[in-house]
A and B are shown apart, each in its own frame.
Chain A
Amino acid sequence: MINVNTRMALASIGSARWRSFLTMLGVIIGVLSVVTIVSLGEGVKQQLGAQVKRSGQDLLTVRGGHLATRSNQGKITSVNLLNLFGGNALSDSDLQTIQKVPGLKLVAPFAVVAGVPQADDGTQVEDVTIVATNDKGADALSQDVVYGGFFGADDNNKPVAVIGKRVAERLFRANVPIGRSFELRGQKFIVQGVFQEFDANPLTPGIDYNQAVFVPYEFIKRSTTTPLTPYQILVRPDNKQTPQAAGQAITDTLKQAHGGQADFTVLQAADNIAIANNVLNILTSLVTSIAGISLLVGGIGIMNIMLVAVSERTHEIGIRKSIGATNRQILSQFLTEAVVLSTVGGFLGVLASLAANYFLRLFTNLQPVITWPIMGIAVAVAIAVGTFFGMTPALKAARKDPIEALRRI
């Protein structure tokens, strides 16, 4: 009987395609938004996981501002979104303070410098970020320089630069522009290396390192009057101490230097994932509640159209009852129709989210990941919506008096 009902439901949907599609639209939009946001979150988590794995568990990030609140166990409990994206910067003296902390293998500042690079042929690329860092920058980012080399300790005071892949393509229209020069703030810089392409980094939405020019920190500091303000300082402790101990030492020292104020944050490698999770959870709950409303509206749409169908097909209900259909069989027929509507809507929603993910991967640096459980849950929710909202019309159909129903044409 379920087969017969499903076939009849599909035929009924097929006979009024446009109406059925409009009915399903609420469910489609609901499923699309939930699946997309969850898969985005999943993608970001996977990217961050891979990034942490690559950079190593011992990498510490010092950032300006109070970014997160920690529990007594040191776990992040909440994130200050304003500080996270507002970018409270550190200062050059913070860098010097950290460099004095013992037991650190690597300390690399990253500061954004204003300026537009201009190639010798006059080409200017305006949306390039100039990042000032020291000779430890590449190590800190765990990124290889694919052509040439990163600047060494003796290059810190020289006008040299290592550039991202896109800068090479856009500024010099070449893959390997080693030895070529560009002008920045009235100073010629010579390209001595090109970075391998960076993976998309979802947590630094403002800076795409593939579109960045890396210049020596010391050189910039000397040649400009504006003080440099690193947006982050990456630190790696030596093998003798744990990242936690090193983090604590940096925190204590910096706090002392800041007059007892903790207006900075030292993040462990795993904290980046915790922050991302925290941000994503806020986003997910926001989008899920909107999607929930969409599913609710979709469900009401299904209920409405099923009530219309019951009313339109009253005569048919009468005929079916007269040839022996029980109330339960009529109920199951109309309930199946509602469930088929919502299930088809759910599947279309999943298909739409697959398409959305494809375009997100194509046009942004986000890498959403749709997993089977996400799709399964989305379709299950759609089925639940159909069952819940299809019940009232189906009951109404089942309870129709056969004689009255037969009289209605």
Chain B
Amino acid sequence: MPVIELQDVSKLYGFGDATTIALDEVSLKIESGEFVAVMGPSGSGKSTLMNLLGLLDHPTHGSYKLGDRFVSRLRPNLRAKARRDTIGFVFQSFNLLPNMTVLENVALPLAYKGMTKTRRLKQAGHVLERVGLSDREYFYPYQLSGGQAQRAAIARALVNNPSIIIADEPTGNLDSAASRVVMEVLSDIHASGSTILMVTHNPELTRYASRVVFMRDGSIVTDEQSAIGELSETVRRRSYFVRHKTVEDDLAGVSALMGAVQDKDTQPKAVKKKRSSKAKSYKAREKRTKAK
């Protein structure tokens, strides 16, 4: 039985000529226990889709069935309760509350459920142990590394035993080592039977997923199953065309171009000078970007 079922779901913003179609009649079925990676360029509708699936927003048209319940037209309070009981969010920027300890942060969703303090702290302690952070319970978020903070955020998403975990670029702010740890934790959670939806820009991370969905212009363009540990066919094909360029590559390109222009130069010196100063300012800008 599908845990998520979208039927011709659209999301429109604005009115009249300024109408933007963020999602265009998307239909999607996700079975319980799937690990779905959602990929696509910026503005393709990934985040809108996640917001709808996570009950942070409601569709303009179409129906959304979560488990055995239609949730597309729920009132805000009921939507919040459904969100609290069935969905766990993991954000790119962790979104832990800075004035609370890790334990309190993790226990917060249970407070909204009305659980007593002792019970919710106990339950939060168990989940923190599961993500390997039991020794950081009384730390504040600013005392944690990026990877630890993201694991605490995962623990917060897990504490209510949600049927779906929605992770919006969970490794976007992490270095590769911390990313790997976080992905292993998500993989463990998936292995224990949870359904995970993850937005990512990193094709390598789709190796953890059992299904990869590509989006463009508010529509799903490809949707394919993939073996865990393998890259899906579409990812492999697209990765081939993605040029992994660094700032140095770009600069090298510019200098090569300039060299070619100088060799065959027949233009007045003033123009040459102007070009080289333009290149210099480009370099300086790149340096500034790098420094930032």
Contact = CB atoms under 8 A, between A and B. Distances in A.
A324 B77 contact: no
Contact of B109 (A3, A318, A324): A324
Interface string B53-72: 01011000000000000000
B268 interface: no
Contacts of A15: 99
Interface in A131-183: none
A315 B99 CA distance: 13
Interface stretch (A270-278, A296-304, A326-334): A326-334
B95 A324 contact: no
B97 A324 contact: no
B117 interface: yes
B57 A326 contact: no
Given A1-B111, A4-B111, A319-B97, A324 B56 contact: no
A318 B54 CA distance: 13
Contact of B114 (A1, A316, A320): A1
Interface in A1-35: 1, 3-4, 11-12, 15
Contacts of A321: 56, 80
Contact of A320 (B91, B108, B117, B157): B108
Nearest to B159: A323
A308 interface: no
Contacts of B54: 322
Nearest to B120: A4
B108 A323 contact: yes
Contact of B112 (A3, A316, A318, A323): A323
B57 A322 contact: no
A325 interface: yes
A81 interface: no
A406 B95 contact: yes
A328 B77 contact: yes
A322 B113 CA distance: 13
Contact of B83 (A3, A11, A322, A327): A322
B99 A326 contact: no
Interface in B76-114: 76-77, 80-81, 83-85, 89, 91, 95, 97, 99, 108-109, 111-114
A3 B117 contact: yes
Contacts of B57: 403
A402 interface: yes
Contacts of B85: 324
B81 A324 contact: yes
B51 A324 contact: no
A390 B89 CA distance: 30
A323 B89 contact: yes
Nearest to A321: B80
A15 B117 CA distance: 23
Interface in A316-374: 316, 318-329
B284 to A, nearest CB: 28
Contact of A322 (B56, B76, B99): B56
A17 B80 CA distance: 33
Nearest to A319: B95
A316 B111 contact: no
Interface residues of B, number: 26
B171 interface: no
B111 A327 contact: no
Given A3-B117, A319-B97, A329-B112, A324 B83 contact: yes
Contact of B80 (A3, A319, A324): A324
B232 interface: no
A403 B56 contact: yes
A318 B111 CA distance: 16
B84 A324 contact: yes
A326 B56 contact: no
B109 A323 contact: yes
A316 B97 contact: yes
Given A4-B111, A329-B112, A324 B160 contact: yes
Given A322-B89, A326-B112, A11 B99 contact: yes
B97 A326 contact: no
Contacts of B160: 324
Contacts of B76: 326-327
A322 B156 CA distance: 11
Contacts of B111: 1, 4
Contacts of A327: 76-77, 80
A131 to B, nearest CB: 68
Nearest to B160: A324
Interface string A257-275: 0000000000000000000
Contacts of B99: 11-12, 15
A320 B157 CA distance: 12
Contacts of B95: 315, 318-319, 322, 406
Contact of A326 (B51, B81, B108, B157): B81
Contacts of A324: 80-81, 83-85, 109, 112-113, 160
Contacts of B114: 1
A315 B93 CA distance: 12
Contacts of A11: 99
Nearest to B166: A322
A13 to B, nearest CB: 12
A385 to B, nearest CB: 26
Interface string B154-171: 001100100000000000
A404 to B, nearest CB: 10
Contacts of A320: 97, 108, 112
A29 to B, nearest CB: 30
A198 B83 CA distance: 74
What are the 9 A-B residue pairs with the smallest beta carbon separation, nearest first? A324-B84, A326-B80, A323-B109, A319-B95, A326-B77, A324-B112, A402-B56, A322-B89, A325-B112
21 contacts: A1-B112, A4-B111, A15-B99, A318-B95, A322-B54, A322-B95, A323-B108, A324-B81, A324-B85, A324-B112, A324-B113, A324-B160, A325-B112, A326-B76, A326-B81, A326-B112, A327-B80, A328-B77, A403-B51, A403-B56, A406-B91
Given A318-B95, A326-B77, 8 more contacts: A1-B114, A3-B117, A11-B99, A12-B99, A15-B99, A324-B109, A326-B112, A327-B80
